[in-house]
Amino acid sequence: MLRWRFWLWATALAACGSPAPAAIGDALSEDALDVAAVVTADAACAPHLAVDPPALTFPYLPAGSETLGVVTLRNQGDCPLVCSAFTFTASAPVFAVVLGAMTEFLPAAGPVTLAPPLTVPAGSVLDVQVTAKATDAKLQTATLTLFCDDPSQPNGTPVAIQLNSAPSCLQLVPSDVVFGGTTVGTQSNQTVQLMNPTGASQCVTAIALAGATTATFSLDFKQLQSACPQLDPAVGPTSAQPCCLSAGAKAALTVRYAPTIASAAGKDDTATLQVTVADAACPPAVGSVAGFTVPGPACPVAVITVAEGDEVVPQSTLHLKGDASTGANGAAIKSYTWTAKQPAGSAKGFVPSSTFPNPTFTPDAAGEYEFCLDVVDANGVKSCQQTCQKVLVVPNNAVHIELLWDTPADPDQTDTGPAAGADLDLHFANYLATGVDLDCDGTGDPWFNDPFDCFWYNPMPQWGSANTAIKDDPTMDLDDTDGAGPENLNLEHPEGDPSLPRWYDIGVHYWNDHGYGVSYATITVYLFGAVALKIDKISMNPLDMWNVGKLNWPNQLTGTSMPPLTVCYQTPGSKPGDVCAGTAKMWQPKGEWCITPCYANPKFVKSVGGGAIPAGCP
């Protein structure tokens, strides 16, 4: 459906970039490093370095795979921030950082000087790229410490980096099992999913509870038998009789809480759930278990059921039921209050409201959601313990791409309506797409091509087989015009085979800022439900076109040598106009993001009715 927009386009192009940062020098001596940390800021002003995120965490990554993250350096002070040196140490040579003149650095034993130093103007940002390549399932760590002239951080600013931070060969969902209040002498059950996120079979050899008495917490393996029928339900998996889960498979386990005596005053009953696999390189998956007792039915008990279960795909409508909640001493429930913890970028709410007994909720972004319920009975007594239920939202298509953005100048990024927020657009182009070469990289651009660019104007293209049973066409399933997103795209069966490989281009266009200015885009690419690429908080100005890169099909995840994604970089230090002037190039091995400013496709603008050229565009 055509949507109303303010059509802000340019008719000419200037290629993008940023002023060339300084080259990196040799390692510093200890004395020189001390000098680098000395504050030399003008007394009339002071720089202040904020690192976003303060710690960069990569979850499990299959061996041989590579991922990319971004750490943003923000100068929140009122004069330029000068960074003179850094140190970069790691537990294994699997990390690299790109900074300065876009030079890639591996971990080193000593400090490295920046000559001349990096300078971040007041109110500006600088991105540091961090790559990680997994060689096995072990947890790997690194620390990048920046030495700048922020007077509040004279000893440097550390950034912790982790790879395989999540349970690497098995995941527990949820990882925290919370029973809440339970009456002595009764029993409560919770289900935990054992999930194998790896590309190979994983065999569970032991499941145990530690730090709990048998009378309080226990395990029931009957549900696990549906995945492993050979198991003894009273014993569970053993080394002699393991429960093996194929790649991507899951199985259910029941945890029971049956308190026989009251909990200590103000304290929970707790235990640790540990699941061990046969692969010695894989750490055990560990979760926590907690509950507490209440003196009989003295207060209402909130009860939650989710009809769709604890794992769904994005845009599924969840039917949450709270009407099975019970009041104290048989009293009726008078009121319900629902709350939700949502992943970044999700702004959905309960329908018709958060006080309805059985609302619906449509999760629009991938990640973990937690729904909690409080009730009050007819006597005005509130539930002693909030009841919560987690739901994991995981894409199940071969390809799922999610775009989120953050616009600092927008005071309410969750409001709706025309011009209520910045409008960025996700683009996904077929290998046949071509058009005017507005980014001057030497080939025709795929963006705004009809019919081979899938975006809001062409959300359900017909690219592949005429047989509609073969779902080889993408769909733009969510388009946001007035806030922080998300926008997302799904594709079940990409085109291409080993004898005739194909590719798809991924892009982000800043269509209209509606007066809110700079926005920070985050793109996440999921392949078979796992994160294959995430590039976080990339600064974009209105009408910028970010060529993220190419999705190759087939690829290493499907049995060929091609990498899943080829990220687009342009010549380090490129400035606006350099690509078109011939002094810079796109599609380099490393460099800056391929962002073209003032990007306008004249043919597309003419067909939909273009608007005025915004200030600052040629």
Same domain, 481 and 459: yes
Structure tokens at 545: 């076109």
517, 601: one domain? yes
Shared-domain flag, residues 438 and 550 = yes
Report the pLDDT value the prediction gives residue 188, as an integer from 0 to 100: 80
Largest CA distance in the chain: 80
What does the block give as tokens for 73?
């350096």
Residue 403 maps to a domain: no
What is the structure's pLDDT at 615? 57
Overall domain count for the chain: 4
Same domain for 8 and 102: no
Comparing 210-219, 232-241, 399-408, 418-427, which segment has the lowest mean pLDDT? 210-219
Q: How far apart are the first and last CA of the chain?
A: 32
pLDDT above 70 covers a percentage of the chain that reads 85
Question: Does a cis peptide bond (omega within 30 degrees of 0) precede residue 53?
Answer: yes
Positive or negative torsion for Cα 458, 462, 468, 472: negative
Assigned token pair, 113: 């000087």
* Statement to judge: residues 249 and 378 lie in one domain: no
> At residue 37, does pLDDT exceed 60?
no
Is pLDDT of 144 > 90? yes
Q: Check residue 36 and give its pLDDT.
A: 32
The answer to whether the beta carbons of residues 532 and 549 sit under 8 Å apart is no
Q: Are residues 55 and 173 in the same domain?
A: no
Residue 127 is part of which domain span?
20-166
User: What is the rounded CA–CA span in Å between residue 11 and residue 319?
Assistant: 48
SS3 204: strand
Task: Examine the fold and report which residue of 365, 383, 401 is the final residue of a domain before the chain moves on.
Answer: 383
User: Does residue 404 lie in a domain region?
Assistant: no
Q: Calculate mean pLDDT across residues 404-417.
A: 84
pLDDT at 318: 92
Are 61 and 74 in contact by the 8 Å Cβ rule? The answer is no
Region 29-42: what's the mean pLDDT? 34
Sign of CA dihedral 405, 409, 414, 417: negative
Does 399 map to a domain? no
